[in-house]
Chain A
Amino acid sequence: MDLNTAMQLAAGGLSAQGTRLKVIAENLANADSTAQTPGGDPYRRKVVSFRAVLDRSLGATGVKVGPVLQAQGAFERRFDPANPAAGADGYVLLPNVNPLIEITDMREAQQSYQANLNVIDAAKQMISHTLDLMRS
């Protein structure tokens, strides 16, 4: 039944956006995680990727989470020679996480999640209307 297909596709969307939110939370939580060793690399921002995948059992294109990639981009440098993670020149490398970007990303994930929920709601309503036909 197509309405069940719609629900399953939307559920896939929910799960994908959930994974995205998880990665964003990871980034935000590690926004200040410096290296473990002096002069080492700090936490690198992670980016989730989405792929459109044909689900043969549904006969429709769902969304799947692809590999979680590490974002390129230069680390921020702060002069702090007393820090245990500081290199020989006295600079500490900070993660390439920009909270503003993460929050914007989070809002987008939230919006897409809501949209998928709306689709599930609509499909549910349609199914219950179909079942109501039996009542007449």
Chain B
Amino acid sequence: MDLSNIPLFKAMAKKLNWLGGRQAVLAENVANANTPDFRPSDVKSIDFQALLSGSKLGGTLKLVTTAPNQIATPPSAIGGVDRVQQPGRVDLEDQMIKVSQTATDYAFTTNLYQKQITLIKHAIDQNGGG
């Protein structure tokens, strides 16, 4: 049984990955909070609705590296999340709120994942016990 074939698990894995990527982008903003001319960025939210309804992901064309010596198009490298440039300077309060929100969402999703696993385990137990 491959859990990633179940749409809900696939969506949750995608969400966890996205949250991790977002946290890295936010870390970048905070680290550069006092760098002159630095513009903060955030990540584009993924359409989880489309993910759950089973449509194919990543329909847009992207630049790819076809040879190992090509330089990767840099900053979008984090977790494959799409960045969005934010206007203005880095606002530490705003960033802190986003960081804690991301951490909370992450905890929520991992909890949900755990619950689903428990549910599946129960179903397996029922079958095994007869």
Contacts and interface: CB of A to CB of B under 8 A. Distances in A.
Interface of A: 1-3, 5-7, 9-10, 12-13, 16-17, 20, 49-52, 54, 56, 59-63, 108-109, 111-112, 115-116, 118-119, 122-123, 125-126, 129-130, 132-133, 136
A130 B99 contact: no
Tell me what chain A mostly uses at the interface: helix, strand, loop, or mixed.
Answer: helix
Nearest to B74: A54
A9 B36 contact: no
Contact of B27 (A5, A49, A51): A5
B32 A52 contact: yes
Interface residues of B, number: 41
Contacts of B35: 50-52, 63
A5 B24 contact: yes
Contact of B24 (A3, A12, A50, A118): A3
Contacts of A1: 20
A50 B34 contact: yes
B76 to A, nearest CB: 8
B30, B36, B107: residue with the most chain A Cβ atoms closer than 10 Å: B30
